[in-house]
Amino acid sequence: MHRHIEKLHDISAKSERLIIGLMSGTSLDGLDVALCKISGDGLQSQVELLQFCTVEYDDIYRSRIRDIFSRRDVDLQQVCLLNPWIGTLHGDMVLQCLAKWHIRPEDVDLVASHGQTIFHAPRSLHGINAMPNATLQIGDGDHLAVKTGIITLSDFRQKHIAAGGEGAPLAVYGDYLIFASATQNRVMLNMGGIANFTFLPASLDAQAVFSTDVGTGNTLMDAYVQKHFAPQIYDADAAIARAGVIHPTLLSALKDHAFFAQGFPKTTGPELFNLAYLARAQQQSNTESLSHEDVMATLNRFSADMIVDALNRCAGQLGEYHLYGSGGGVHNPLLMDNIRSQLPQVQVHSTNELGINPDAKEAVLFALLANECVAGGKAQFGNAREGIPTVTMGKVSFAD
Ligand SMILES: Nc1ncnc2c1ncn2[C@@H]1O[C@H](COP(=O)(O)OP(=O)(O)OP(=O)(O)O)[C@@H](O)[C@H]1O
Ligand SMILES: CC(=O)N[C@H]1[C@@H]2OC[C@@H](O2)[C@@H](O)[C@@H]1O[C@H](C)C(=O)O
């Protein structure tokens, strides 16, 4: 047997594994690095988040990614160069965190790397019937593995597409494994650049688990702040939005898009929710001269309304539920108020109350996918029709 396969076999047989989950989301704020101790697999998985850190990206990273991010007219050489560059950089960032935590790379079993999404193109977005759903994450796993010396699993989304999904949301798998409760219907709402949620019925019935993207979380607000309030990159504590008032006509124009009429589940990205989307809505509603603060107040409400609308439209199948928030949006007090005030019947919590830092949740979920890939494979998830095929995700890269 090849020694690498032997090592993988040994990791698989361990009673607990140290797995680093990495998430670099659509906000381009930084690389989330979550060191997890995971035992068991499937619904018996137990996760302890031992350490968490967001390694902030510098302006060079941001501008290199922005040059190609969710854009159709890119320099292909730049894409080619960034693929290994990001892989190696993420590897460096992992090493940096491990040094800070006084943990040796050889003591870590696996790295689970999401990579950097540079384009997300479900068929509903690209509109070419003869072509499949597609998504592209770069930051190649081989480079991470060689840099860190740790076996790396990466590129999780392709298998999901190959099995009939849109490549997202993948959060549903880990959400089901660690947050499903026999005593409470739960909705896990993540508000990163894009907002999505997973419904976990107290029946624990995998067929009834449901997950979907709902629209913009922070991405439109972030883009607007970066354009008009640089060097700020987001509306810290909603200070800008709080200084403005919601403009109802602009709000209606923002909501007037075929994406929101589409059924669930669905996925989206900044390919749709970008400044051109806002410009169209401002033109339609004759609100181009609105103050920046009023635009921000309206965008904040837009995110909240579409989250609430999606939850309410799915409410028939949800019944009574508790909502657990995660992602950077939980730190935006106005966004949270705008959601809470429209869901008076729902108890709103943070995933902190379930033992997982809300900023770390997505990175932890990728560590769980890696755990399933190496040591699981028995859990049955929902059905492929709902975008939750039972498949093993992740590609293995050895360190040498
Ligand atoms: N104190 C704060 N006040 C307001 N907003 C905040 C605050 N802290 C974080 N955010 C928001 O959270 C965003 C980062 O969220 P997160 O890291 O969850 O996104 P992501 O993982 O990149 O996105 P996605 O999940 O869509 O891929 C920031 O860009 C900002 O908009
Ligand atoms: C293609 C892609 O990277 N999508 C992300 C993005 O960020 C949030 C939302 O859009 C979600 O669909 C997904 O990430 C999470 C981790 C997911 O797959 O569940």
pLDDT tens digits, 234-284: 999 999 999 999 999 999 999 999 999 999 999 999 999 999 999 999 999
Residues 215 and 237 placed together within one structural domain of the fold: yes
Mutate to test the pocket of ligand 2, among 114, 120, 179 (most ligand atoms within 8 A of CB): 120
pLDDT at residue 382 above 90?
no
Joined tokens for residue 169: 């949301």
Q: Report residue 85's pLDDT band, with 50, 70 and 90 as the boundaries.
A: very high
DSSP 378: -
Pocket of ligand 1 contains residue 194 by CB under 6 Å? yes
Annotated binding-site members for ATP: 25-32
Residues 290 and 159 placed together within one structural domain of the fold: no
pLDDT for res 270: 96
Q: How many domains does the chain have?
A: 2
Q: Cα 322 to chain center, whole Å?
A: 20
What backbone phi and psi angles, to 5 degrees, belong to 147? Answer: -65, -45
Ligand 2 centroid – CA 257 distance (Å): 20
| Predicted-assembly ipTM surpassing the 0.95 threshold | yes
Ligand 2 centroid – CA 70 distance (Å): 13
Q: What is the mean pLDDT of residues 118-147?
A: 97
Range of the domain at 40: 3-168+362-397
Residues 163 and 178 placed together within one structural domain of the fold: no
Residues 12 and 93 placed together within one structural domain of the fold: yes
pLDDT at residue 160 above 80?
yes
Q: What is the mean pLDDT of residues 193-205?
A: 95
Residues 150 and 13 placed together within one structural domain of the fold: yes
Residues 116 and 184 placed together within one structural domain of the fold: no
Pocket of ligand 1 contains residue 193 by CB under 6 Å? yes
Measure the CA–CA gap between 191 and 215, rounded to whole angstroms: 10
Measure the CA–CA gap between 25 and 142, rounded to whole angstroms: 20
Pocket of ligand 2 contains residue 266 by CB under 6 Å? no
- Coil, helix or strand at residue 259: helix
Pocket of ligand 1 contains residue 235 by CB under 6 Å? yes
- Coil, helix or strand at residue 137: strand
| CATH number of the domain enclosing 161 | 3.30.420.40
pLDDT for res 62: 93
pLDDT for res 152: 98
pLDDT for res 383: 81
Q: Which residue's alpha carbon is at the smallest distance from atom 6 of ligand 2?
A: 194
Residues 383 and 302 placed together within one structural domain of the fold: no
pLDDT for res 201: 93
Q: How many CB atoms lie within 10 A of CB 161?
A: 17
pLDDT at residue 135 above 80?
yes
Residues 44 and 145 placed together within one structural domain of the fold: yes
Residues 34 and 103 placed together within one structural domain of the fold: yes
What backbone phi and psi angles, to 5 degrees, belong to 204? Answer: 65, 10
Q: What percent of the chain has pLDDT over 90?
A: 94
Q: Do β-strands 322-326 and 186-191 pair in parallel, antiparallel, or remain unpaired? A: parallel
Q: Which residue's alpha carbon is at the smallest distance from atom 26 of ligand 1?
A: 193
Pocket of ligand 2 contains residue 192 by CB under 6 Å? yes
Residues 298 and 179 placed together within one structural domain of the fold: yes
Atom index in ligand 1 nearest the CA of residue 225 equals 31
pLDDT at residue 315 above 80?
no
Q: Which residue's alpha carbon is at the smallest distance from atom 10 of ligand 1?
A: 328
pLDDT for res 318: 74
Q: Which residue's alpha carbon is at the smallest distance from atom 12 of ligand 2?
A: 169
Residues 302 and 225 placed together within one structural domain of the fold: yes
Q: Which residue's alpha carbon is at the smallest distance from atom 21 of ligand 1?
A: 25
Q: Report residue 314's pLDDT band, with 50, 70 and 90 as the boundaries.
A: confident
Pick from 302, 289, 325: which is nearest to 221 by CA?
A: 302
DSSP 386: G
Residues 104 and 80 placed together within one structural domain of the fold: yes
Measure the CA–CA gap between 11 and 110, rounded to whole angstroms: 9
